[in-house]
């Protein structure tokens, strides 16, 4: 089939899915166990009955998709407030939009231009942040078409390196508008980051710099709330989306009381508009699914934890008994297989230790596909309650077999 689509992932025409249900995603008649779960958006799996029921209810009520202010966005915000601490909320359509608007807000409030970005973090297709560090932490653009202004304004902090981060922050403290961080990074998800996040919290508080937590992947997935609650950190601004949309496109920003007070004193308003921001179909369906999740919270999150822990423990035990240079990293139900067991702190060290293994990794991913397991290009694994015990046993068995084959 001729390909007209330039978006990421469409280059390979043989990998076009057509439907999905529960833990499975289909290409024609082939059914694969989906480890990506709609890029981490589906806690309950594909086409869960509550999702389908909510869409049917929405249609039966003849609500129509309302871009105008509507009661469904209001109701949804009220329920969100039960699980995330915030003063005000700004609905967007994607994580990227939420990131762009948060950076705009920080700039308006601080009247400063520099943005501190933490290495290894991903904040979507945001011009200001499409950079990666070289070995001296100098920014290198990862896309054509970025402005020199953005290159000048980004300050890169080394993830989880407290000493170096302190020095860089101190040097830039009068110029920084904000620090943006994924509290747990998809590039290396693990628990041991609290001290680092506390450093960012203390520094930003002391120096009137805004702290932005990008919780696109940790939001809701972290015990039905957030990483900020888990680590007991209070960012000024937070970004959510993915799971909160229950499979429909969403992003939103939450702001603290301090930020909302400061905003009210601005001479000119910060622009947050957008045709579908807070639209009724996403707000209605997401709210219905959220209420279901809240009602079954204990069962859902216990199940996610048990399955994710089993995957992590079984494979890590297997790697040590087989002396394989591999390690599973996990934070809650966010999982990544790293193709090295060396002690890693951040994405750069992961890249360093994995760099000679690219062709093996590619062959392993192809092997998984042939075994009817879909591991997305990002390599991140998101568990959902839709994985059955037998799915899990099958995936573990196939991982063990394939990893021995390609990495022993």
Q: What does the DSSP 8-state code read for residue 84?
A: S
- How far apart are the C-alpha atoms of 374 and 348, rounded to whole Å? 25
Among 84, 105, 116, 216, binds ligand PLP (CB under 6 A): 216
Q: Locate tokens 């009602």: which residue?
A: 295
Decide whether 36 or 77 has the Cβ nearer to ligand PLP.
36
Q: Is 182 an interacting residue with respect to ligand PLP (CB under 6 A)?
A: yes
SS3 of 274-306: the string is: CCCCCCHHHHHHHHHHHHHHHHCHHHHHHHHHH
Look up residue 331 and give its DSSP letter: E
Chosen residue from 186, 235, 247, 379 binding ligand PLP by CB under 6 A: 186
Q: Which residue has the tokens 């609290």?
A: 194
CB of 238 or CB of 280, closer to ligand PLP: 238
Torsion sign across C-alpha atoms 280, 180, 39, 151: positive
User: Which residue minimizes CB distance to ligand PLP?
Assistant: 95
Residues 108-127 that bind ligand PLP (CB under 6 A): 122-124
End-to-end CA distance of the chain: 38
Is 107 in contact with 177 (CB distance < 8 Å)? yes
Tokens 């620090």 correspond to what residue? 179
DSSP 22: B
CA dihedral of residues 168, 170, 171, 175 (deg, nearest 10): 110
> Cα-flanking dihedrals φ and ψ of residue 76, to 5°?
-65, -45
Please select the residue that binds ligand PLP; options are 84, 217, 337, 344, rule is CB under 6 A: 217
CB of 261 to ligand PLP, least distance (A): 26
* Of residues 296-355, those binding ligand PLP (CB under 6 A): none
Pick the binder of ligand PLP from 34, 214, 236, 288 (CB under 6 A). 214
Out of 22, 45, 95, 402, the residue judged to bind ligand PLP by CB under 6 A:
95
Smallest separation (angstroms) from ligand PLP to the CB of 182: 5
- Site pattern 250..279 for ligand PLP (x: CB under 6 A): -x----------------------------
Residues that bind ligand PLP (CB under 6 A): 39, 94-96, 99, 122-124, 182, 186, 214, 216-217, 241, 251
């Amino acid at each position: 089939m001729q390909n007209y689509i330039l978006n990421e992932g469409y280059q390979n025409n043989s990998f076009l899915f057509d439907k999905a249900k529960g833990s499975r995603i289909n290409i024609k008649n082939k059914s694969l166990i989906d480890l990506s779960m709609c890029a981490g958006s589906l806690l309950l799996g594909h086409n869960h009955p509550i999702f389908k029921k909510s869409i049917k209810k929405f249609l039966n009520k003849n609500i129509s998709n309302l871009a105008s202010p509507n009661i469904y966005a209001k109701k949804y915000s009220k329920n969100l407030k039960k699980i995330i601490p915030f003063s005000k909320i700004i609905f967007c359509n994607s994580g990227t939009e939420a990131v762009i608007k948060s950076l705009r807000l920080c700039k308006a409030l601080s009247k400063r231009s520099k943005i501190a970005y933490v290495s290894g973090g991903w904040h979507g297709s945001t011009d200001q942040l499409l950079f990666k560090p070289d070995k001296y932490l100098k920014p290198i653009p990862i896309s054509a078409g970025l402005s020199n202004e953005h290159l000048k304004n980004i300050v890169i902090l080394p993830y989880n390196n407290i000493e170096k981060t302190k020095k860089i922050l101190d040097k830039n403290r009068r110029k920084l508008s904000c620090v943006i961080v994924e509290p747990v990074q998809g590039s290396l998800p693990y628990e041991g980051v609290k001290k680092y996040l506390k450093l960012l919290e203390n520094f930003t508080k002391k120096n009137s710099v805004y702290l932005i937590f990008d919780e696109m992947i940790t939001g809701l997935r972290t015990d039905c709330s957030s990483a900020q609650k888990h680590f007991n950190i209070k960012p000024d601004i937070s970004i959510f989306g993915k799971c909160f949309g229950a499979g429909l496109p969403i992003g939103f920003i939450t702001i603290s009381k301090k930020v909302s007070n400061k905003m009210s004193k601005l001479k000119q308003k910060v622009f947050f508009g957008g045709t579908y921001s807070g639209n009724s179909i996403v707000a209605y369906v997401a709210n219905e699914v959220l209420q279901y999740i809240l009602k079954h919270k204990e069962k859902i999150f216990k199940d996610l934890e048990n399955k994710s822990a089993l995957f992590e423990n079984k494979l890590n035990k297997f790697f040590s008994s087989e002396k394989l240079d591999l390690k599973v990293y996990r934070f809650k139900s966010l999982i990544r297989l790293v193709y090295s067991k060396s002690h890693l702190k951040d994405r750069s060290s992961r890249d360093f230790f994995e760099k000679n293994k690219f062709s093996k990794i590619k062959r392993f991913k192809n092997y998984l596909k042939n075994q009817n397991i879909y591991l997305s290009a990002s390599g991140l694994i998101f568990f959902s309650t839709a994985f059955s015990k037998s799915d899990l046993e099958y995936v573990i068995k196939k991982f063990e077999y394939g990893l021995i084959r390609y990495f022993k």
